[in-house]
Copies of this chain bind each other. A is one copy, B any other.
Amino acid sequence: MLKFDHGLCMRGALGARGLSESLLQAVRFAMQDGEHRLREERDRGGLAWMELPYRRPDEILKYVQAVEPRFDNVVVLGIGGSALGTIALSTALRPQYADLLPREARGGHPRLFVVDNADPDQICALFANLNLSRTLVNVISKSGSTAETMAAYMVARGLVEKTLGRGHVRDHFVFTTGPDGGALRDIGRRESIKLFDIPNGVGGRFSVLSPVGLLPLALAGVDVEPLLAGARDLDSTVSGRPVMDNPAYLFATIQFLMDTHFGRNICVMMPYSARLRDVSDWFRQLWAESLGKALDREGKTVHIGQTPVKSLGTTDQHSQVQLYSEGPDDKVVTFLRVEHFDRDVTLPNIHAEYESVSYLRGRRLSELMDAELMGTAWALARRGRPSMTFTLPKVDAYHVGQLIYVLEVSAAVAGELYNINAFDQPGVELGKEAAYALMGRGGYEEMGREIREYLSAHGGAEDDSETARSSEELTE
């Protein structure tokens, strides 16, 4: 099982800037209340994402088996919660450098590309390099109308229609959308394009264990069953354990106390594993969107939320650790440690004559990773800076499933402690509407005028999109 250690957050290790047992005990009742509320909510069916590990992925696996041989490339068009989980698990669970390898070396599975932007350089370059007749496009949008995703879909569809013919659209697209999937669901139905459902009540950032993540991952050869099994086993553990001995509750509580009590408004996720590096990006969304809120549940203005930061060991020791060590004491670091790397290498017995190198001979790279992690944790603690560690026995689907689930539950628990709604994201609407207005969507004309006036009065990026006409068109 996944292990959790928070010893280096406590007063014994850190002194006055550490947590005391009595402070933890003082929050115990809030934790128990939170646990009670979450359990009630779950029993009412209000936390659909917690049930995702219990759904059989049969429909997905059947579809994958049927279509996989026809495709060399799977392209996901999705953004935010429709992309970050897939990217994280693809990096963790597919072979490293998978897309550079010949198909056999990837276990016979297609390559996987996730387009989570509307960047024309990126989208044009990707589609220019793919053989469309061997490419499956998975369009993922819960609302069925996300601007970037629908724009990328229009590009992809235009190319498929032009290159392969309109009749082939049906064979080269698969849609994943919510119960109110709007345009996307309707198009899918009318054109008999295969549709997968995002279950009711599963928000984007909690959706990786739904078809949002499972379908593209399974298409790219990830074994999704142990992923779900890991999440289920973690659920049993977490649901059964008292809050003071429960990693999900402890992680949430420590972050909450470090933020509200000690002013540590930055929470760093630092895996010591290149394969886990994109888990940090997935976690960034989970933590930022769930907890970054203006109002509490009573409508009081609170403006709370730690800022999650992506970091990577040992890489960022040579970039960020100077700041973590000497800068403001405004961070909590969470290490992800790997007990057994899949591969390892013993350093050869060369350069014995150089004292600055010779200590490495005969040691393994995994030992160096571990020494660097422990050295960093110790050096931070010596300066009174807190850290926690999740240890994964291995980077495999089972344990990564546990990690995903424990962090999801933590975000929900932290929402209880902050007394905010962890499942909405009202703050993104204004910018979204502003973009509609600037793109000339009907009904937003007045807003468009207001924005242009404001930006031209105060500076900020001006709109000179007319001058951009000179760039090369993909379609020409």
CB distance A79 to B315 under 8 Å? yes
Q: Tell me, in angstroms, the Cα distance from A379 to B426 when the chains sit together.
A: 12
Q: Given A317-B428, A327-B304, A374-B438, does the pair A339, B467 have CB atoms closer than 8 Å?
A: yes
Q: Say how far A328's CB is from chain B's closest CB, in angstroms.
A: 5
> Is A81 in contact with chain B by the CB < 8 A criterion?
yes
Please judge, given known A-B contacts A274-B117, A322-B428, A468-B364, whether A435 and B357 are in contact too, CB under 8 Å: no
Chain B residue with the shortest CB-CB distance to A424 = B322
**Contact of A345 with B435 at beta-carbon distance under 8 Å, contacts A7-B459, A326-B427, A461-B370 already known:** no
A309-B307, A344-B472, A455-B377 known; A96-B122 Cβ under 8 A: yes
> What are 8 of the A-B contact pairs (CB < 8 Å)?
A8-B458, A8-B459, A148-B314, A265-B330, A317-B432, A326-B426, A340-B471, A345-B474
Contacts of A320 in B (CB 8 A): 284-285, 288-289
Q: Given the known A-B contacts A122-B96, A289-B322, are A116 and B158 also in contact in the complex, defined by CB atoms under 8 Å?
A: no
A interface residues, how many (CB within 8 angstroms): 172
Contact B461 A337 (CB under 8 A): yes
Within the assembled complex, what's the spacing in Å between the Cα atoms of A321 and B472? Answer: 31
- By a CB distance below 8 angstroms, the chain B residues around A369 are 118-120
Contact between chains at A461 and B345 (CB < 8 Å): no
Asked whether, in the complex, the Cβ of B122 is within 8 Å of the Cβ of A470, the reply is no
Query: Is A12 touching B285 in the complex (CB atoms < 8 A)?
Result: no
Contact, CB under 8 Å: B319 / A434: no
The reply to whether B467 and A340 form a contact with Cβ atoms under 8 Å apart is: yes
Q: Which residues of B contact A123 (CB under 8 A)?
A: 345, 365
Question: Is the CB–CB distance between A382 and B430 below 8 Å?
Answer: yes
Interface centre among A182, A273, A431 (most CB of B within 10 A): A431
Task: Assess whether B321 is in contact with A471, with CB atoms less than 8 Å apart.
Answer: no
Given contacts A101-B129, A120-B341, contact A442 B359 (CB under 8 A): yes
Of B288, B432, B461, the residue contacting A389 (CB under 8 A) is B461
- Residue A294 CB within 8 A of the other chain: yes
Whether A315 and B116, one on each chain, are in contact in the complex, defined by CB atoms closer than 8 angstroms, is yes
Contact between chains at A344 and B150 (CB < 8 Å): no
Tell me, rounded to whole Å, the shortest Cβ–Cβ distance linking A474 to chain B.
4
Closest to A338 in B: B121
Separation of A346 and B84 alpha carbons in the complex (Å): 27
Interface residues as binary, A355-397 with B (CB distance below 8 Å gives 1, 0 otherwise)? 1110111011111111111111111111100010101000100
Given A293-B326, A309-B309, 12 extra CB contacts under 8 A: A100-B100, A119-B275, A119-B341, A121-B342, A151-B368, A154-B348, A155-B345, A266-B307, A288-B327, A307-B323, A368-B435, A381-B460
A125 on interface, CB distance cutoff 8 Å: yes
Chain B hits for A157, CB < 8 A: 348, 350
Q: Which residues of B contact A84 (CB under 8 A)?
A: 319
Cβ contacts A149-168/B at 8 Å (1 or 0 each): 01100110110010000000
Chain B residue with Cβ nearest A437: B375
Checking B122, B312, B363, B381 against A275 with a beta-carbon cut-off of 8 angstroms, the contacting residue is B122
* A154 with B350, Cβ < 8 A, contacts A326-B426, A369-B118 known: yes
**Roughly how many angstroms separate A427 CA and B292 CA in the complex, as a whole number?**
31
Residue A44, interface by CB 8 Å: no
A465 in contact (CB, < 8 A): yes
